[in-house]
Structure 1
Amino acid sequence: MPTSAENLARWHAYVQRHDHAELRAMLHPDAVFESPVVHTPQRGREIVHKYLASADKVLGSSSFTYTGEWLNERSAILEFENTINGIKINGIDMITWDEHGQIVHFKVMVRPLKAVNMLHQMMGEMLQTMTAAAPATPA
């Protein structure tokens, strides 16, 4: 069973490399994602992967940085900062892993309201772009 520190190291490696195949491998098939701008939790590896990969494209610039970490036995809270279009974003990622080191729950909280509104627009655009670019699934 991997430790939270090992799971967190794997997450940080993903954030540095932006390897979306690695991200998919980290996600449990029944993973849940909670967004600051979507009312209902998003359930399942595919939709969680789409949201996190989109967030990586929107937030993953060189100015993105984690500024604090709090670890528990199977979870972590990571505080982050970034500036996009002159708006300073402050938020937290709350990540929970299962006993095999797969992400089972990922919650994001963001402030201030101006940042939430901007991210809502940018994430919507990125999700539409990623959906349009995704290959069709055979029926």
Structure 2
Amino acid sequence: MTAHVDPAAAFRAAVEAADVEAAVALFAEDCVFHSPVVHAPYTGREALRAILAAVMTVFEDFRYTAEYAGPDGHVLEFACRVGDRDLQGVDILRGGTGPDDPISELAVLVRPYSAATALRTRMAELPAGGAPA
């Protein structure tokens, strides 16, 4: 009998280990990513891979501080810095409610506005603006 890992717990562990490939592997091929600083959503694993890799270079002292679960998904609260700004945010994961169910959606919300602005600026400075074209 094979033990199954909760997809949200596996995502948290992958992000904490800065393992982009392990994190992306937990998502459906047609997953959707909602950025805290870009209006239009990104679709697919390749877009998610590029964004997660970029964010892992921009966020400093990243740590999850709390987590919440419900029948429709999970919320992982985090704290970090972007330059000299303290940032607080949440990763909202939808899907992945069962061991063989991939995560279908990731929405990231951040505060305060000054930190979100710093995040937007730093992401735009990366090659391809921190995200796929």
Identity of aligned residues (%): 30
State yes or no: 1:101 paired with 2:110: no
Q: CA deviation at 1:21?
A: 2.0
SS of the residue 2:6 aligns to: helix
Partner residue in 2 for 1:66 = 64
Per-residue CA shift, 1:92-116, capped at 9, x if unaligned? 1101124523221000011111101
| Deviation (angstroms), 1:125 | 2.2
* TM-score of the two chains, using structure 1 as the length reference: 0.79
Residue in structure 2 matched with residue 120 of structure 1 by the alignment? 120
Higher helix share: 1
Unpaired stretches in structure 1, ≥5 consecutive residues: 132-139
Instruction: Normalising by structure 2, report the TM-score.
Output: 0.82
* Number of residue pairs matched by the alignment: 128
Contact 1:54/1:127 (<8 A) preserved: no
Q: After the TM superposition, list the runs of 4 or more consecutive aligned residues in structure 1 that deviate by more than 6 angstroms.
A: none
Relative to its length, the structure with more strand (as a share) is 2
Q: In structure 1, what is the Cα distance between the partners aligned to 2:124 and 2:105?
A: 21
